[in-house]
Amino acid sequence: MGFSLLCSPAISGVFLFSLIACCLLPELALAGAGITRHYKFNVKLQNVTRLCHTKSIVTINGQFPGPRIVAREGDHLLIKVANHVQNNISIHWHGIRQLQTGWADGPAYVTQCPIQTGQSYLYNFTIVGQRGTLFWHAHISWLRSTVYGPLIILPKRGVPYPFAKPYKEVPLIFGEWWNADPEEVISQALQTGGGPNVSDAYTINGLPGPLYNCSIRDTFKLKVKPGKTYLLRLINAALNDELFFSIANHTLTVVEADAVYVKPFETDTILIAQGQTTNVLLKTKPHFPNATFFMTARPYVTGLGTFDNTTVAGILQYDLFPSKTLSTISIKKLPLYKPVLPPLNDTSFAANFTSKLRSLASFQFPANVPHKVDKRFFFTIGLGTSPCDQQNQTCQGPNGTRFAASVNNVSFSLPTTALLQAHFFGQSNGVYSPDFPSSPRIPFNYTGNPPNNTMVSNGTKMVVLPYNTSVELIMQDTSILGAESHPLHLHGFNFFVVGQGFGNFDPNKDPANFNLADPVERNTVGVPSGGWVAIRFQADNPGVWFMHCHLEIHTSWGLKMGWVVLDGKLPNQKLLPPPADLPKC
């Protein structure tokens, strides 16, 4: 299972009894499913240097990226987060379904008030029916830029992967490095109404790599042996960019997406949106290749705004023999091969890649897509504008307005009281209204010429669903300020991607082509640029659940909304009461 890699020094500083057992006595950690694992996350400032620029950043336990969580399906996690910085903080366990434990989901002002300076909160949840690669990250403002880390869920003991057991497993988490303070970047953008400045570099496991100035030593190196199979756990934790990823002269086999197994397929290049995870098998060459190989990632770009047009690189390096190690001098003499990534705006590649993703749909791992639909929704997803509210100053959005983003023309406003708390205690009046529109108030040619009025409305509106409602949701990109891909993440649920296409969704023709046999199951999906995507899910998890664009600037501009799922009749269908240490606003 590659435990020598999962028990790496990257997790030093985390208090975890079961992790000590993992590193010292692996057989103890594997002794059974359903154990309780304790972690301690100290939110603290740490000086970090990248690109020859040293700055103090918010971290967990002083690590960038943060510590790795390793658990098994069925394990119970108790993660105490103590805040020692001036920023408010909350942590989201991205992709964990949080069955009946919505209080542990983490988005600030949705399921909890943030953890304030000097306070702590114990995240308490069980991993039910999930295994694979997920991640955790801060879920308030732009603190996700430095506060993130892998969340690896191994299968129950004795349950194998549905593919050949890999020789070793390696998490690769993509992020960004900002010489500026990202909190100041978003604060300035929201104040001026314009677009934000972009990051200075992309990173692999926190390292920018040799294509950036002053970064040769800050390069992630993956050392492999010939003739072995490695499981690479890819995670895109970047704030604002979908990424292409490839390893020169090597083919990757995709076996999992968003912690759900998929039908394996081979590819030279991976597309991974913000908030998505992808597991791939890398089979190394049978003999020492007398070469080294770049692993590179750069953005897939569809919008009209500025973006970080740089490339992060790591190095795939072969070990010659177990008893011999190549010297630094001999490695430098080897030829270095570079992969060829798709063009920055290659939407056809993006569509072709996503169309290959299919659920296993096997007896052991069925695709339980709802065939009967109780509620249908049609959401437009995109950018717009709002009036400039600054006196005697022109805002920096289009035509002197402010950039805004919306779902069905509603730009979501977070309240000052946590939505889940308001719902649970029956105090929603004045906090949110249960009248989120199920379709656009004024239909228009969504991917054609935009309407004259691009102004969005503002509000805190929610969709309310009875327990176990089967939902079909069409998400339609708009070209109001230019077509753009939007990675939409739904908290609390996995969903099935039953269809997608370009242009305007046709309710009379397109459903006939929906895939209800083996659609891919995800928690984050890209709404195609100038197109639409159709998803289905069963609302079988009571609570309040956030849905938002994982392009962080779009979330900041209001491209988000919420679902309220009411309690069912049985005890296991009801949201549990809040914990005593739930943070207060």
Residues 6+ away with beta carbon under 8 Å from 172: 204, 205, 220, 232, 233, 234, 235, 295, 314
Tell me how far apart the alpha carbons of residues 585 and 574 are, in angstroms, rounded to a whole number.
25
Please report which helix (H) or strand (E) contains residue 36, including its range: strand 36-50
Among 223-232, 377-386, 443-452, 509-518, which stretch is predicted with the lowest mean pLDDT? 443-452
CA 504 to chain centre: 27
The predicted-structure confidence for 519-574, as pLDDT tens digits, reads as follows 999 999 999 999 999 999 999 999 999 999 999 999 999 999 999 999 999 999 99
Report yes or no on whether pTM surpasses 0.85.
Answer: yes
pLDDT band per the 50, 70, 90 thresholds, residue 304: confident
Does the pLDDT of residue 15 top 60, yes or no?
A: no
Looking at residue 30, its pLDDT comes to 38
Q: Are 533 and 473 in contact (CB under 8 A)?
A: no
Tell me how far apart the alpha carbons of residues 530 and 525 are, in angstroms, rounded to a whole number.
15
Say how many C-beta atoms besides its own lie within 10 A of residue 446's C-beta. Answer: 24
Looking at residue 328, its pLDDT comes to 58
The predicted-structure confidence for 61-112, as pLDDT tens digits, reads as follows 999 999 999 999 999 999 999 999 999 999 999 999 999 999 999 999 999 9
- Mean pLDDT for 473-489 is 96
Q: Burial-class residue 122 by CB neighbours within 10 Å (0-12, 13-18, 19+).
A: middle
pLDDT band per the 50, 70, 90 thresholds, residue 391: confident
pLDDT band per the 50, 70, 90 thresholds, residue 581: very high
The predicted-structure confidence for 306-341, as pLDDT tens digits, reads as follows 899 999 999 999 987 555 555 655 667 899 999 999
Looking at residue 392, its pLDDT comes to 64
Instruction: Give the start-to-end residue ranges of the domains of the chain.
Output: 36-159, 163-359, 375-565
Looking at residue 332, its pLDDT comes to 74
Q: Are 171 and 373 in contact (CB under 8 A)?
A: no
CATH node for 36-159: 2.60.40.420
Strand order in the sheet with 486-490: 462-465, 560-565, 543-549, 486-490, 524-527
At the fourth CATH level, the homologous superfamily of domain 163-359 is: Cupredoxins -  blue copper proteins (2.60.40.420)
- Mean pLDDT for 204-230 is 97
The predicted-structure confidence for 120-135, as pLDDT tens digits, reads as follows 999 999 999 999 999 9
Q: Are 250 and 190 in contact (CB under 8 A)?
A: no
H-type alpha helices, 361-503: 419-424
4 phi and psi, to 5 degrees?
Answer: -65, -30
Among 6-10, 64-68, 291-295, 510-514, which stretch is predicted with the lowest mean pLDDT? 6-10
Tell me how far apart the alpha carbons of residues 53 and 69 are, in angstroms, rounded to a whole number.
29
- One fold for both 36-159 and 375-565? yes
Say how many C-beta atoms besides its own lie within 10 A of residue 556's C-beta. Answer: 20
Per DSSP, the three-state class of 347 is helix
* CA atoms within a 13 Å half-sphere pointing along the CA-CB vector of 219: 22
The matching CATH number, chosen from 2.40.50.100, 3.90.550.40, 2.40.40.20, 2.60.40.420, for 375-565 is 2.60.40.420
Query: Which amino acid does the sequence have at 170?
Result: V
Among 19-28, 156-165, 403-412, which stretch is predicted with the lowest mean pLDDT? 19-28
Tell me how far apart the alpha carbons of residues 260 and 523 are, in angstroms, rounded to a whole number.
10
The predicted-structure confidence for 269-281, as pLDDT tens digits, reads as follows 999 999 999 999 9
* CA atoms within a 13 Å half-sphere pointing along the CA-CB vector of 257: 32
Strand order in the sheet with 132-138: 69-72, 148-154, 132-138, 91-94
